[in-house]
Structure 1
């Protein structure tokens, strides 16, 4: 009933879409020390004005021996906001008064995100046209799926010490619907309109924290350690293929690939980062903190196995003093 009413009459006049954002949360206690939590919801995301009012595309060509420049609009005033559905379920377990454990599984997806879509010059006049010049507008054809599992462990404070650990596995899969336009296809094996690729990314992150509090001295010391135990990325192609020889070796190329290794699995390896913080209470509701981030100055250097290029995942060591006050 509600759907038919909403379809006939808008609650708010909005050119960029109207959305309901329902949320549902549920908790069930098996005992005082064990509980189940569940949540589901849908949220709307606004689109950037830069996506709606994109600058025009330009093309230069010769006409009667004269160099001519033409512009083509790339605006899409009817671009819609998009929605994202989220689901989460958790199990919390308190083991006596010494240990707390939480296991959480979460998932979210969206099917109407703004993404750039290419077209041949003059497509809006004649959809069958084929031109080397092309333009791109943002349309609601992007999709994403992401999720993960998180294990959180926290101990009771013993002799002013407390230990926390979080182990998280997460993934992200993104792509777009429809077809990509190829302005210069090799007609022996490529198509003018071909299926787009999607990107898969997954990580395992382990966070450790050890903190010490001395009420007598008014001192709080924290050591945070983050380990990236697994970091993978892969581009998935569904387009036509051919075989090419590169450096005396045969490789399979999909349409849309630039290099033979574009569809290979990228393994970024494992890396660590250590952060240190020392806080001291100096006045009532006032504390002074010394922080050192990337304590060991480990840049997390990774060498690309296909090109030999080096990349740094961690910023260099940086430190400073910070004062905070509360009234």
Structure 2
């Protein structure tokens, strides 16, 4: 019996295999030292992102950026992305002052805005994100306008216009009072319309026109006025197609209505335009900002059509992504 007891003690000691005193089910290691049962934690778990990202600017680009922010937040719930709408010009002012990380823009940055950013120590990259078709809209009850020419739009909206009724626009139109609705001067949409339609003459500013940076206010204005006419991004028209009528535009090749196809192929001219985000390079050094911008460019093409925009070609997104790394 004594011999059997000694054998049992000896066997138990051999079973511990030189564990150094540790007990429990420690995972075995492979030749390279990695744990066999489950491996190491994924890098994204080890480097969990957090922080705040502040974005402001174009109301036209807002739906794109808001969509990207919402989807990004599902993957990175500890990163708070705030998206404001102060217009392209207002966004660039905040951007140049270093108040925001990213500026949404429905037009390229102007030379004086870029200089102001440089003077404020803000270096940046410009990223194209989608195409938009600036859409001219009228009231649902308007049954006389089947299309408008670029010249007629100029006649209606340009500074110094004497148009007061629809009869002043084209012979055969009724003497229905005309009421205009336009984005404000801080809007990139205003700037683009002024350049593409009005030859930079500026938009009239009298008692027949109302300005707002809020596209929803413009929608309500046109929808509530039989003689109303206004313009804003295609996405806002699609969202409110039950309240408004879109106007085909004649620019020399027959009237063309804005659609995803005509915007993409450029036949909706001259009101098709690219949209942008501008990123402060210093902010891009923050891991959460870089991750968000990369996510934006990698995914916005698939989101664009869902919110009423036209995606860029895949090769263009690849070029934009290279700018981030560069």
TM-score (norm 2): 0.19
- Structure possessing the higher radius of gyration over alpha carbons: 2
| Structure showing the higher strand proportion among its residues | 1
Q: 1 or 2, which has the higher helix percentage?
A: 2
- TM-score scaled by length of structure 1: 0.19
